[in-house]
Amino acid sequence: MSTKTFDVVVIGGGPGGYIAAIRAAQLGMNVACIDDWKNAAGGPAPGGTCTNVGCIPSKALLQSSEHYEHAAKHFGEHGISLSDLAIDVKKMVARKDQVVKQNNDGILYLFKKNKVAFFHGRGSFVKAADGGYEIAVDGAEKQSIVGKQVIVATGSSARPLPGVAFDEEKVLSNDGALRIGSVPKKLGVIGSGVIGLEMGSVWRRVGAEVTVLEAMPGFLPAADEQVAKEALKLLTRQGLKIEFGVKVGGVKVGKKGVTVSYTDAKDKAHELEVDKLIVSIGRVPNTVGLNVEAVGLKLDERGFVAVDDDCRTNLPGVWAVGDVVRGPMLAHKAEEEGVAVAERIAGQHGHVDFNLIPFVIYTSPEIAWVGQTEQALKAAGRAYKAGSFPFMANGRARALGDTSGFVKFLADAASDEILGVHIVGPLASELIAEACVAMAFRASAEDIARICHAHPSLSESMKEAALAVDKRTLNF
């Protein structure tokens, strides 16, 4: 049993943890990162949920399924004809696995490059020791290391429906939803949040009949209402069936499939028979097995590690970042917190602006926003101006054959400072970056309106929406 001391020990190698480890190493610290994710062969697969069963694999499948849908429905418009179009789901999933592996390998390379000591196994607190904390690592061998500072970045896991365990065969979490072996004829999804929409889209595009059951009365309550309304219209038109205001009563798993009993918004009882059921009703923080009791690390009432605005826990020298703490469960939020904590440990002034975290949903069209929604501004009584521009009036969008949706800018009525940008449309995930930069520099809508944007490009819709704030669009 060896006991080596590190300046920083990071528990968890997802985007919060591995990025914190790299930044701390860049700042001259001696760093260890412990992660327990295993690939199919039992080897290390750092990158966490994001790399293994989240952001990266979902985007790989979204890309493949979008190619298929384009080939099936839109190639004809370009004069391209295809016969015998077919989808090989096993190959699509194998390609996704390859993309995941490239990312796992990339992180192992980055650890080597930055001299981060990687431990493959499960980390847990043992006791306060030697001016830091002793952490046990339960992997191929049992080890014990000491961290003068510890960053907890253990992430989150899918929340099951009460009494309905994930078997990943018929009742699927995000994990099983990303490795279905053949197109299910009927797919049920509980929850019309981000995973429900992205995974529902993947399997609908390749031929499944998808029904989404949502408890809330409305669609994407965190999004700008106008964007949510447009997105719902477009996704429904594509064939995604979404029922709102449902109460799921029971889930029966049979030999052939799954039966979901539920009542609709009018309290009428229904049964939905599906081949597979994805349950995507949010996620819970991973703290089980961390042995927080051994050192008295405090959790909040919802089970997250309790932290202040700077990610400090109740224990000196123990920090926590990412999905295991409050705030949006997003990879880039976890990364920003990881960098900021490493910099704070080094005595610098790391900072995360929670108002400038972009949100993206990778459906087609994509949905993206940053800053405040119109309904939030109204509720706060803030005087604002709004301007929108439809992709229908954008030359590049017409050339791409993807004219759905719009860009919407919200700016302060007096100062013209941009307060929020909301997009539903092609490549919204990329376009939103301009809004993040502009808002970080506290730009006005007029600033964006006066900047030269390449023609023809989707980004001209950003400029035009900024012009629309002052009611002077040029192309609409």
The dihedral through the CA atoms of 134, 139, 105, 428 has a sign that is: negative
For residues 433 and 454, give the distance between their C-alpha atoms in angstroms, rounded to a whole number: 16
Q: Are 100 and 56 in contact (CB under 8 A)?
A: yes
For residues 227 and 235, give the distance between their C-alpha atoms in angstroms, rounded to a whole number: 12
Could you say whether residue 103 binds ligand FAD (CB under 6 A)? Answer: no
Nearest CA-CA partner of 189 in 225, 207, 224, 215: 215
User: Which amino acid appears at position 391 of this protein?
Assistant: F
Helix (H, G, I), strand (E, B) or coil at 46: coil
Could you say whether residue 12 binds ligand FAD (CB under 6 A)? Answer: yes
Residue 182: CB minimum distance to ligand FAD, A: 20
Is 70 among the catalytic positions?
Answer: no
- Per-residue interface string for the shown chain with ligand NAI, residues 201-230, x marking contact by CB under 6 A: ------------xxxx--------------
Residue 428: CB minimum distance to ligand FAD, A: 13
Answer with the entry of ligand FAD, ligand NAI, none that 13 interacts with (C-beta below 5 to 8 A by kind): ligand FAD
- Candidates 29-37, 279-287, 292-300, 457-465; binding stretch for ligand NAI (CB under 6 A): 279-287
User: Which amino acid appears at position 113 of this protein?
Assistant: K
Answer with the entry of ligand NAI, ligand FAD, none that 154 interacts with (C-beta below 5 to 8 A by kind): ligand FAD
Residue 384: CB minimum distance to ligand FAD, A: 27
- Per-residue interface string for the shown chain with ligand FAD, residues 348-387, x marking contact by CB under 6 A: ----------------------------------------
The string of DSSP codes covering 111-131 is HHHTTPEEEEEEEEEEEEETT
Q: Are 336 and 327 in contact (CB under 8 A)?
A: no
Give, as ranges, the residues between 316 and 345 that touch ligand NAI (CB under 6 A): 328-330
User: Which amino acid appears at position 34 of this protein?
Assistant: I
Q: Of 261 and 291, which CB lies nearer to ligand FAD in the complex structure? A: 291
Answer with the entry of ligand FAD, ligand NAI, none that 361 interacts with (C-beta below 5 to 8 A by kind): ligand NAI
Could you say whether residue 22 binds ligand NAI (CB under 6 A)? Answer: no
Q: Of 282 and 395, which CB lies nearer to ligand NAI in the complex structure? A: 282
Sequence-ordered list of residues with C-beta below 8 angstroms from that of 240, at least 6 positions apart, any chain: 197, 200, 201, 204, 210, 212
Q: For the chain, how many residues are written?
A: 476
Could you say whether residue 151 binds ligand NAI (CB under 6 A)? Answer: no
Q: Are 63 and 380 in contact (CB under 8 A)?
A: no
Could you say whether residue 16 binds ligand FAD (CB under 6 A)? Answer: yes
Could you say whether residue 194 binds ligand NAI (CB under 6 A)? Answer: yes
Strand bridging mode 269-274 / 171-172: unpaired
Q: Give long-range contacts, CB 8 A cutoff, 24+ apart: 106-110.
A: 107/13, 107/18, 107/46, 107/47, 107/51, 108/44, 108/46, 110/18, 110/22
Beta pairing partners, 9? 32, 150
Among 192, 364, 404, 459, binds ligand NAI (CB under 6 A): 192
**Which active-site residues does the annotation give?**
455
Task: List residues near ligand FAD by CB under 6 A.
Answer: 11-17, 34-37, 48-50, 54-55, 58, 122-124, 153-156, 174, 195, 286, 289-290, 322-324, 329-332, 334
